């Protein structure tokens, strides 16, 4: 199926977005988006609500997920697109990541208490509104406490490697993540590949291993990529016979530098993942 300007990477309150699945879909509809994927971190809990909202306004909602992966000692994100959110293999895998995430939250809170911030677990939980707890929720709480001016500042000072509230990731392996996504009938995509600070050599190794596991695409156009980076990853995709994806990585209106429905087209020479025959087939089933 060929779609007009899809946005294949967004977050809701089921993970660290600030809009509910319904509010997110309504905003996407208002921005003229016809096809959108909901890709919450390690969770498909928002998809049923999003699919209902999408159906009522005639938007095609691609069921998705953004799986946290530990690869070569760092965290890498792998998107699963057009998958069956009720697949038990996928759900069991995500359940394990959520268990780790809950443990990590207690550990982050313990470390932040040592750094002088009490009550961080309850504080983060309040921002998580019943969804899973991520570092973004801790960051919002720490902004409220005056630890830094904004979420980015909190990450820089407290939540990244080497800082007082950092806890080393123990997520899925690359093979597991791609395996869960494929078991659910989805396509695996390396999310925002420019954000991992990999040397060219390591990037080639990641791409090679990803292909061996059955990965299909690179997110070439991303809200967190620069224009130059679009072209770098368009070339990687072409050279390694991977498809290209595009997504804003929208987290809500309080990050005004990333908006829904404003993605530039893929660079020339890319084969878009949405040109795959049958792409979008999980959309109707999820509603």
Closer residue to ligand AMP, CB minimum distance, 68 or 248: 68
Binds 182, which of ligand AMP, Mn ion, none (CB < 5 to 8 A, cut-off by type)?
none
Closest CA to 218 of 277, 278, 266: 266
**Contacted by 69, from ligand AMP, Mn ion, none: CB < 5 to 8 Å by type:** none
Which residues contribute to the site for ligand AMP (CB under 6 A)? 16, 41, 68, 134-136, 151-152, 155, 251
CB 134 within 8 A of CB 102: no
Among 12, 14, 16, 87, binds Mn ion (CB under 5 A): 16
CB 137 within 8 A of CB 128: yes
Measured from the CB atom, the residue of 138 and 210 that comes closer to ligand AMP is 138
Using CB atoms within 10 A of its CB, is residue 195 exposed (0-12), middle (13-18) or buried (19+)?
middle
Nearer to Mn ion, 191 or 246 (CB): 191
Rounded to whole angstroms, the Cα distance separating 211 from 190 reads 10
Q: Does 42 bind Mn ion (CB under 5 A)?
A: no
Nearest-angstrom CA–CA distance, 53 and 18: 17
* Closest CB to Mn ion: residue number: 77
Q: Which residues contact 113 (CB under 8 A, 6 or more apart)?
A: 120
Quote the tokens at residue 5.
């300007």
Interaction partner, residue 176 (ligand AMP, Mn ion, none; CB < 5-8 Å by kind): none
- What would the two tokens of residue 216 be? 């299909």
Least distance (Å) between residue 106 CB and ligand AMP: 13
Q: In the chain, which ranges are continuous DSSP H helix?
A: 21-30, 47-57, 88-114, 120-128, 135-144, 151-154, 174-183, 200-213, 227-239, 281-286
Q: Which residue has tokens 């997520």?
A: 171
Q: Which does 155 bind (CB under 5 to 8 A by kind): ligand AMP, Mn ion, none?
A: ligand AMP
Site size for Mn ion, by CB under 5 A? 5
CA 106 to CA 235: how far, in whole Å? 42
- Per-residue binding string, Mn ion, 196-225, x by CB under 5 A, is ------------------------------
**Nearest distance in Å: CB 138, ligand AMP:** 8
Residue 49 interaction partner, one of Mn ion, ligand AMP, none, beta carbon < 5-8 Å per kind: none
Nearer to ligand AMP, 38 or 151 (CB): 151
CB within 8 A of 139, min separation 6: which ones? 151, 154, 155, 158, 159
For the bound state, the minimum distance from the C-beta of residue 134 to Mn ion, rounded and expressed in Å, comes to: 6
- 176 contributes a contact to Mn ion by CB under 5 A: no
Where along the sequence are the contacts to Mn ion (CB under 5 A)? 16, 66, 77, 191, 249
């Amino acid at each position: 199926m060929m779609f007009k300007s899809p946005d294949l990477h967004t977050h809701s309150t089921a993970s660290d977005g600030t809009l509910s699945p319904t509010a997110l879909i309504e905003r996407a509809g208002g921005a003229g988006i016809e096809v959108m994927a909901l890709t919450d971190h390690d969770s498909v809990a928002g998809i049923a609500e999003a699919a209902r909202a999408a159906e009522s306004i005639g938007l095609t909602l691609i069921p998705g997920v953004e799986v946290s992966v530990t690869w070569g000692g760092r965290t890498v994100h792998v998107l699963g697109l057009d998958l069956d959110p009720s697949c038990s293999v996928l759900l069991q895998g995500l359940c394990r990541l959520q268990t780790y995430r809950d443990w990590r939250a207690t550990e982050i809170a313990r470390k932040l208490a040592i750094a002088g911030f009490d009550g961080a677990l309850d504080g983060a939980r309040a921002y998580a509104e019943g969804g899973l707890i991520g570092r973004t929720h801790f960051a919002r709480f720490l902004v409220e406490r005056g630890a830094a001016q904004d979420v980015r500042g909190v990450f820089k000072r407290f939540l990244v490697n080497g800082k007082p509230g950092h806890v080393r990731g123990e997520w899925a392996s690359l093979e597991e993540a791609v395996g869960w996504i494929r078991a659910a009938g989805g396509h695996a995509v390396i999310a925002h590949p420019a954000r991992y600070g990999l040397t060219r050599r390591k990037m080639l190794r990641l791409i090679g291993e990803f292909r061996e596991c059955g990965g299909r695409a690179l997110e070439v156009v991303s809200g967190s990529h620069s224009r130059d980076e679009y072209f770098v990853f368009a070339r990687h995709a072409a050279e390694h016979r991977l498809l290209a994806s595009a997504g804003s990585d929208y987290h809500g209106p309080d990050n005004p530098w990333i908006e829904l429905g404003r993605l530039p087209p893929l660079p020339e020479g890319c084969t878009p993942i949405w040109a795959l025959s049958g792409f979008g087939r999980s959309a109707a089933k999820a509603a």
